A and B are shown apart, each in its own frame.
Chain A
Amino acid sequence: MIAQLTKSERQLALIILLVLTICGLAMAIAGRQDPLGVHGAIVMLAGIAGIFGVIYVYYEPEPDEARLALYYDDPTKLAIILAMIWAVIGMFIGDWVAWQLVFPNLTFDAGWSSFGRIRPAHTSAVIFGFGGNGLIGTSLYVLQRTSRARLPDQISPWFVLLGYNLFCLLAATGYLMGVTQSKEYAEPEWYADLLLEIVWVVYFVIYMRTLARRKEPHIYVANWYYMAFILVVAILHTVNNLAMPVSFGHAKSYSAFSGVQDAMTQWWYGHNAVAFFLTSGFLGMMYYYLPVRAGRPIYSYRMSIISFWGITFMYMWVGSHHLHYTALPQWVQTLGMTFSLMLLIPSWGSAGNALLTLNGAWYKVRDDATLRFMMVAAVFYGLTTFEGSFMAIRSVNSLSHYTDWTVGHVHAGALGWVAMITFGSIYASVPWLWKRERMYSPALVEWHFWLAVAGLFTYVFAMWNSGIIQGLMWRTYNSSGTLSYSFIETVIAMKPYYVARAVGGFFFFAGAVIGLYNIVMTIRTAGQPADERAADRPVAQPAGVPALQPGE
């Protein structure tokens, strides 16, 4: 892959890696009494490893000019593999954390393995590691196909992908050492945030430069969603992470905001991370891969545009529904609730649009597990957004907030929507990217699908039950007008659901492991014999499948 770089790109790579190594060294020295030092060492090692990698191929011949007539897919390929690896890591930790609530001593008497430290490692690994790599990989793929233009250069996509993964690595290892800002889904400390900031600007520039050279004046709508994802995440990330580091030798920083302002800023961020990271970006994925895989154009292009502006505009207002009945002024709570309800319109616009696209192609959904992943994703997108609007109603929220219902809701979205659309898109792109006729084993795709569905339902039903039961128990009064249950009684009542949740999580994790195996085997099994092509696509018609180029 590095050999594809031109001489000047190799030199630029060396300079960037050298700067990275120096930064790592500086961090390691300044933070030698602090976890920052460990992170400095990690950064430095990453830089040195990169330098060796580039030097190893430095005197190889320069790549052929013919490459310029093709799309640049190497970063996408690596992003997909990394996404699957992070999925396996993140889901493993997730299931471990779930079992800790059943057997609290699964921490093995260590600090790094306690619930509070590995829980953010789970959330970051799945959201940023799995989801983020999936988004970066697919966005670069979709960007090039829909613009019919090659990426502007060969360095910036690597900078984005590898820099982003370095950020994920710093985040995950940081939590285990106790380095966290405590802001949910924005836990990484100031130096990791700065790294992400730079990476994100470059990501945006790639997008702008490629779009500027597109063939058609109209920008395909998937790119709108991807751009909203990139731009708004940049805004959210910048504002919510404003903080004062203790010193350049400390990982610790103090948030620029306090109390009620901090709460509002955090949940403005938190809910919009859901909106623009976990929704907008993945809708971009859906608006490309679902029509292509189904071989049918999107049902209503107009609706996709209306939904786009609806989501981009309205999501920004709804964060305060995380703070109902708190010290936040009531008018802000009401505003958040109202917009949350209105948000159902664009959300169902997108979900309906996806399902109506499949209308007339249900036989494909029946036969093709990859398309079925995308179908389930669209259904759960609709369900979760309905549930979300419902839970944003103040009186419902008084019951659901602080309980497992929220956890169930999040996982209905994360497993049912985000993971399903990502798996579907990955299964669609792997054969296209590596020029294979199909996945190594269509049967294993089926296995993954059914394990994922079983895990999803087990998990979500367990959390709905536990959440509503606990919420009701907290507010149950006995005949003498006092609270019926002590807190610990409500914890005891959760036990069966915690077990069920952990089992469901295991199914989902097992599916991801099978997926990774299947993808690795697809890559390693070159040139399947023609007569064994039991296509994993229902119809062998060329429509909708970007032309494969055998022999490349």
Chain B
Amino acid sequence: MGLFGLHYKLERKTMSLAIGIIIAASIGGLIEIVPLFTIHQTVEDAPDMRVYTPLEIAGRNIYIREGCYACHSQMIRTLRDEVERYGPYSLAVESKYDHPMLWGSKRTGPDIARLGGKYSDEWHVKHLINPRDVVPESVMPPYAYLTRAKARIDDLGLHLTALRKVGVPYTDEMIANASNDAYGQTSPDTPFAEGVTKRYGEATNVRAFDGQPGEPTEMDALVAYLQILGKLTDAAHKAKTAAAGE
């Protein structure tokens, strides 16, 4: 049938256009991205790097939920003024456990890649409740409701399991104790606190971040996360060698 032949020809032209588009469009991305997945061969590893604690993961998820990344970057560029303003420039290895990364694209507020330890917990809590109590000209929204909301910690084991599936080295023990560790990190005087330092290191912050020990609030979780920013490894501070690797 002539008609059938015609159909076939037309169909083939459409198909080749579609395939042409796919080829033209996808090779560029592949060529550029594939080498990045072999980058670990050249970038110096940070052996002291630790994973986020369950409470910090909960805090990080609140940071994502509230869209903090829309105004705060976590990526100090290799520019003199940035290093002087914010601290040593960010290394690739520092965000290797960040699923997803939160480098950000806009600084309506300052970069916070090295925020950890810069201010007290009390400052953070006050600032989050009403930023203008601490910085009168701030344009940041108030987050007072975080102090009232209990953090959901019962499912943190599932979160850690999901993270392990995408490559973060959480141990079975960490996963099994996730909820207890989240509780323990804000309750320094309970038996649960010991497990946190045992599994995540002596340097882990174990304290009542919002001033009240026990049941962690969302404020606890968020402040715990903010206080660990830039603190998971020392690599950036002794960066000369790592920078040469690029």
Check A-B contact in the complex, CB < 8 A: yes
A-B contact count (CB 8 A): 268
Given contacts A104-B131, A114-B66, contact A398 B39 (CB under 8 A): no
Does chain A have a CB within 8 A of B13?
A: yes
Does chain A have a CB within 8 A of B5?
A: no
Please tell me if the beta carbons of A227 and B132 are within 8 angstroms of each other in the complex: no
Please tell me if the beta carbons of B107 and A109 are within 8 angstroms of each other in the complex: no
Please tell me if the beta carbons of B33 and A232 are within 8 angstroms of each other in the complex: no
Task: From the candidates A104, A231, A320, A336, name the one contacting B25 in the complex (CB within 8 A).
Answer: A231
Task: From the candidates A178, A259, A320, name the one contacting B65 in the complex (CB within 8 A).
Answer: A178
Enumerate chain A residues within 8 angstroms of B246, measured Cβ to Cβ: 327, 329-330
Please tell me if the beta carbons of A313 and B65 are within 8 angstroms of each other in the complex: no
Measured in the bound complex, the distance between the Cα atoms of B46 and A364 in whole Å is 65
Interface mask (B138-171 → A, CB under 8 Å = 1, otherwise 0): 1111111100000000010011001101111000
Measured in the bound complex, the distance between the Cα atoms of B207 and A453 in whole Å is 55
CB distance from B230 to the nearest CB of A (A): 13
Enumerate chain B residues within 8 angstroms of A492, measured Cβ to Cβ: 137
Does chain A have a CB within 8 A of B18?
A: yes
Please tell me if the beta carbons of A120 and B67 are within 8 angstroms of each other in the complex: yes
Given contacts A115-B67, A224-B17, A254-B162, contact A312 B25 (CB under 8 A): yes
CB distance from B5 to the nearest CB of A (A): 13
Enumerate chain A residues within 8 angstroms of B131, measured Cβ to Cβ: 104
Interface mask (B25-36 → A, CB under 8 Å = 1, otherwise 0): 111110111011
Please tell me if the beta carbons of A483 and B25 are within 8 angstroms of each other in the complex: no
Enumerate chain A residues within 8 angstroms of B141, measured Cβ to Cβ: 100, 104, 107, 114-116
Please tell me if the beta carbons of B159 and A214 are within 8 angstroms of each other in the complex: no
Does chain A have a CB within 8 A of B175?
A: no
Does chain A have a CB within 8 A of B198?
A: no
Does chain A have a CB within 8 A of B240?
A: no
Does chain B have a CB within 8 A of A256?
A: yes
Which partner residue on chain B sits nearest A183 by CB separation? B100
Interface residues of A in 477-510 (CB under 8 A from B): 477, 482-483, 487-488, 491-492, 498
Does chain A have a CB within 8 A of B119?
A: no
Given contacts A183-B100, A313-B28, A325-B78, contact A261 B37 (CB under 8 A): yes
Does chain B have a CB within 8 A of A253?
A: yes
Enumerate chain B residues within 8 angstroms of A212, measured Cβ to Cβ: 7, 10-11, 14
Please tell me if the beta carbons of B14 and A182 are within 8 angstroms of each other in the complex: no
Which partner residue on chain A sits nearest B57 by CB separation? A254
Measured in the bound complex, the distance between the Cα atoms of B65 and A114 in whole Å is 11
Interface mask (B58-97 → A, CB under 8 Å = 1, otherwise 0): 0001001111111101010111011011000111111111
Measured in the bound complex, the distance between the Cα atoms of B22 and A309 in whole Å is 11
- Tell me if A's interface is mostly helix, strand, loop or mixed: helix
Enumerate chain B residues within 8 angstroms of A498, measured Cβ to Cβ: 139
Does chain A have a CB within 8 A of B105?
A: yes
Does chain A have a CB within 8 A of B9?
A: yes
Does chain B have a CB within 8 A of A184?
A: yes
Task: From the candidates A100, A179, A217, name the one contacting B10 in the complex (CB within 8 A).
Answer: A217
Interface mask (A187-226 → B, CB under 8 Å = 1, otherwise 0): 0000000000000000000001001111001010000100
Binding stretch for chain B, among A347-355, A399-407, A444-452, A518-526? A399-407
Please tell me if the beta carbons of B108 and A101 are within 8 angstroms of each other in the complex: yes
Does chain A have a CB within 8 A of B237?
A: no
Given contacts A231-B22, A255-B166, contact A483 B84 (CB under 8 A): yes
Using C-beta atoms within 8 Å of the partner chain, give the interface range for chain A.
Answer: 35 or more
Enumerate chain A residues within 8 angstroms of B168, measured Cβ to Cβ: 258
Measured in the bound complex, the distance between the Cα atoms of B71 and A517 in whole Å is 35
Measured in the bound complex, the distance between the Cα atoms of B31 and A326 in whole Å is 20
Does chain B have a CB within 8 A of A335?
A: yes
Which partner residue on chain A sits nearest B14 by CB separation? A211
Which partner residue on chain B sits nearest A474 by CB separation? B81
Please tell me if the beta carbons of A491 and B85 are within 8 angstroms of each other in the complex: no
Given contacts A217-B9, A312-B25, contact A117 B66 (CB under 8 A): yes
CB distance from A84 to the nearest CB of B (A): 27
Given contacts A259-B101, A261-B36, A313-B25, contact A107 B13 (CB under 8 A): no
Please tell me if the beta carbons of A119 and B75 are within 8 angstroms of each other in the complex: no
Does chain A have a CB within 8 A of B21?
A: yes
Please tell me if the beta carbons of A182 and B102 are within 8 angstroms of each other in the complex: yes
Interface mask (B89-128 → A, CB under 8 Å = 1, otherwise 0): 1111111111111111111111100000000000000000
Binding stretch for chain B, among A240-248, A424-432, A434-442? A240-248
CB distance from A323 to the nearest CB of B (A): 8
Enumerate chain B residues within 8 angstroms of A483, measured Cβ to Cβ: 81, 84-85
Given contacts A116-B71, A212-B10, contact A180 B138 (CB under 8 A): no
Measured in the bound complex, the distance between the Cα atoms of B69 and A175 in whole Å is 14
Does chain A have a CB within 8 A of B24?
A: yes
Enumerate chain A residues within 8 angstroms of B77, measured Cβ to Cβ: 324-326, 398, 401
Enumerate chain A residues within 8 angstroms of B18, measured Cβ to Cβ: 208, 227, 231
Measured in the bound complex, the distance between the Cα atoms of B82 and A376 in whole Å is 38
Measured in the bound complex, the distance between the Cα atoms of B159 and A332 in whole Å is 33
Enumerate chain B residues within 8 angstroms of A235, measured Cβ to Cβ: 22, 25-26
Interface residues of A in 285-326 (CB under 8 A from B): 309, 312-317, 319-320, 322-326
Please tell me if the beta carbons of B10 and A214 are within 8 angstroms of each other in the complex: yes
Please tell me if the beta carbons of B98 and A262 are within 8 angstroms of each other in the complex: yes
Measured in the bound complex, the distance between the Cα atoms of B71 and A403 in whole Å is 10
Please tell me if the beta carbons of A246 and B100 are within 8 angstroms of each other in the complex: no
Measured in the bound complex, the distance between the Cα atoms of B84 and A392 in whole Å is 24
Please tell me if the beta carbons of A322 and B99 are within 8 angstroms of each other in the complex: no
Measured in the bound complex, the distance between the Cα atoms of B168 and A475 in whole Å is 37
Given contacts A117-B67, A180-B67, contact A316 B159 (CB under 8 A): no
Given contacts A244-B165, A246-B159, contact A219 B100 (CB under 8 A): no
Which partner residue on chain A sits nearest B76 by CB separation? A326
Measured in the bound complex, the distance between the Cα atoms of B111 and A487 in whole Å is 10
Binding stretch for chain B, among A55-63, A263-271, A531-539? A263-271
Which partner residue on chain B sits nearest A123 by CB separation? B70
Enumerate chain B residues within 8 angstroms of A109, measured Cβ to Cβ: 142, 144-145
Does chain B have a CB within 8 A of A279?
A: no
Measured in the bound complex, the distance between the Cα atoms of B13 and A224 in whole Å is 12
Measured in the bound complex, the distance between the Cα atoms of B52 and A154 in whole Å is 52
Interface residues of A in 152-183 (CB under 8 A from B): 175, 178-183
Please tell me if the beta carbons of A256 and B166 are within 8 angstroms of each other in the complex: yes
Interface mask (A375-408 → B, CB under 8 Å = 1, otherwise 0): 0000000000000000000000010011100110
Please tell me if the beta carbons of B39 and A253 are within 8 angstroms of each other in the complex: no
Q: List 23 A-B contacts (CB under 8 A).
A: A105-B142, A109-B142, A114-B66, A117-B66, A119-B67, A212-B7, A217-B13, A235-B22, A244-B166, A246-B162, A247-B155, A254-B99, A258-B167, A259-B98, A263-B103, A264-B36, A276-B25, A309-B24, A319-B29, A326-B77, A327-B92, A327-B94, A488-B135
The 10 closest A-B pairs by CB, nearest first: A116-B67, A316-B28, A178-B65, A325-B77, A259-B95, A255-B100, A327-B92, A402-B107, A114-B141, A475-B81
